[in-house]
Amino acid sequence: MTQAALSGKNYVVTGANSGIGLFSARRFAELGANVALVCRNEQRGHEAVAEIIATTGNENISLYLADFSSLASVSEMADKLLRDISKIDVLCNNAGGANGSREVTDEGFETTFVSNHLSSFLLTKKLLPAVLNAANDDLARIVFTSSYGHFNSALNFDDLGLTQGYSTLKAYGRSKLMNLLTARELQHRLRGKNVVASSFHPGTVRTPIWNKGGMLARLLGLALYPFMKSIGQGSDTFVWLASSEDQASKGADGHYFYEGKRAETAKFATDEDAKRLWQISEELIAPYC
């Protein structure tokens, strides 16, 4: 793509102050997009904005703050975004993490469940009018960062908060399954609206997430480090789904991708579960809409 390929388009990237979020946001800025970074830490967010402006020369970079473990915080931030940006061409749902032990937020949700799924679901629902507004002029896109980890475990709809049998890998894997299913059901609901939803696996990437999942995650990250992808390599499919003019990316249609190609999903990643998860998620976020 040319240097100004995304000129005039508005991108929103969550989890944008490090890892593939920061790399991808920088790439969108290089291509001329107006990029809104959604970050949790104000200082790191400002540093990311400054770094992107300095390296790309694109000054149309803004910062929005939200704690994705709090639906109230995400809802408030979404309202600010909507006041500032009437058209969102691409929403990149990338924020997330892993927790070494089971924790419950002040709002009563297991932390991985709310940080990796419910908050991005809420954000997508609230920003959808701006996405549809952009879709009146050109193809709009919504991309979810999922993971091969979604193969770890099927959903238990009687225990989405993992009160029984919690483990870091199970909680993380289930949340990534939820991202994949949300993209699929979203595409179903937006059929004919000129919006493409998709999800992807970045690969095993050298990002800070390996330091956030407790001792097991740190040891696993240490063992796998020599074989991991660079952040740039892990971002390739993300950037492709969010910006490419290739027919494959423009026709992603709710599918799950890896290395620029449609990838296999777990057999338990069913359309029925996608619909059920959507309905339950809508009920849970209702007080914050």
What is the rounded CA–CA span in Å between residue 8 and residue 127?
Answer: 18
Q: State pLDDT tens for residues 49-80.
A: 999 999 999 999 999 999 999 999 999 999 99
Statement: 10-283 belongs to CATH 3.40.50.720: yes
Mean pLDDT of 6-10: 96
- pTM of the predicted structure, to 2 decimals: 0.92
What residues have CB less than 8 Å from 91, skipping those under 6 apart?
Answer: 12, 123, 124, 127, 131, 141, 142, 143
Q: Would you kindly state where each structural domain of the chain is located, as residue ranges?
A: 10-283
Residues 74, 68 contacting (CB under 8 angstroms):
yes
The alpha carbon of 252 is separated from its chain's Cα centroid by a whole number of angstroms, namely 16
Name the band, by pLDDT with cuts 50, 70 and 90, for residue 225: very low
* Burial class, 193, CB count within 10 angstroms (exposed 0-12 / middle 13-18 / buried 19+): middle
pLDDT at 172 over 80: yes
Active centre residues (catalytic): 172
Mean pLDDT of 131-147: 97
pLDDT at 221 over 50: no
CA atoms within 13 A on the CB side of 142: 32
Name the band, by pLDDT with cuts 50, 70 and 90, for residue 215: low
- DSSP assignment, residue 258? E
Joined together, the tokens standing for residue 212 give: 């956030």
User: Where is average pLDDT lowest: 2-6, 72-76, 243-247?
Assistant: 2-6
pLDDT at 210 over 80: no
Bridge partners of 144?
93, 199
pLDDT of residue 123: 98
Which secondary structure element, helix H or strand E, spans residue 224, and what is its range?
A: helix 214-224
Length of the chain: 289
What is the rounded CA–CA span in Å between residue 74 and residue 72?
Answer: 6
pLDDT of residue 52: 98
